[in-house]
Structure 1
């Protein structure tokens, strides 16, 4: 459990930075070597992204619930238009994000399963990924 003093947005920012670092680390090199050299790494990466995707719907639901609680308590204002209109738009978008995250998690499960049968038959280079 995180401390209530911790800014809850710190965690998703760190997750986003971790994905950026993964993207950087796995880019094809200038000499056209792949950033991921072995299918085992592909399998583990897909599994890790699958775990992330499985956790997103709950996060989006909790954000929506918090916003609904703030709205019900009368603690929201809007720069323009109706507070209710904006709160509903956020809620609908978060439910859509939940559905997309669930679909992504299911798709990644299929990719993870399919990649589990793949092996490597090329030369092994000690400088490649593990």
Structure 2
């Protein structure tokens, strides 16, 4: 071998030794990254499923609320048509409005509680990501 190539050969041998020494550490880090990405995917999937399920349940409650409100309004309108006097209509209207407000407050409370619960279920996988299993 000529002497001009010896430093290059020595440098190449040193680089190969460094690769051999660092390969197990690099492989371990790659495996850790792979496991972390797998866990992140599971986390995102669980969170997404919880979000979709929550949206469906919230929509269902909203639809039930609107349906009940419309049905109550139609029933009330029919009852008013059959009222015998204006005094009865005023009393019916007062009772209907009072019952409607009470129902709206109760339904709003149910809706807020459901939204809070579904939000917590949606965020739980994210908040627990990376914690010990």
User: Normalising by the residue count of structure 2, what TM-score does the alignment of the two structures yield?
Assistant: 0.40
Using CA pairs under 8 Å that are at least 6 residues apart, name the structure with larger relative contact order, 1 or 2.
2
User: Scaled by the length of structure 1, what TM-score is found?
Assistant: 0.40
Rg comparison, structure with higher value:
2
